[in-house]
Structure 1
């Protein structure tokens, strides 16, 4: 597990962008098409959970449930965050919403 240089003595993180779950950040971040003309940067396990929670019920398939289960496993510490990120990226690829980072496009 990586250490955060901004961690306080009480163990909480000072970084406002990372929030309370800084150790669950995706590296690299995952970019998805969110609507017809916008991109969304998914930066962490909690961010992916939020995205998945908003996914339409009628479009949920085995890749969705694999990603959802992987996020929960990462939160529980059962799998590394990198594996959860890979499951989320596989879901996004299968759903046709994975996008290249604007920095590399």
Structure 2
């Protein structure tokens, strides 16, 4: 089975959170949730590219790059700096505590 996981994730700026897109299935889920009234040629082409990538007829790297462009066009591409990571050291928690 061929892996459909990207080398590095993309981050999508949603209304109340940042969504991580790390594989082909994540893109398909995102596109299927896209509002019908906003769907256009780019949406159709992206879905077709995803389906072609599943069967090995389109490069996964090209799907990722085109989805990145799709997000930029819709002002939804987030940078890693926007992703809310919490720094935690080993001293912040006790191992084995219930």
1:70 match: 49
Spell out structure 1 runs of 4+ moving beyond 3 A.
102-105
For normalisation by structure 1, the TM-score amounts to: 0.71
For normalisation by structure 2, the TM-score amounts to: 0.75
Structure 2's unaligned 5+ residue stretches are 85-98
Alpha-carbon RMSD across the aligned residues, in angstroms, is 2.1
Structure 1's unaligned 5+ residue stretches are 1-10, 12-20
1:26 match: 6
Matched, 1:46 2:18: no
Number of residue pairs matched by the alignment: 84
1:89 match: 68
**Larger RCO: 1 or 2 (CA < 8 Å, sep 6+):** 2
SS at match of 1:30: strand
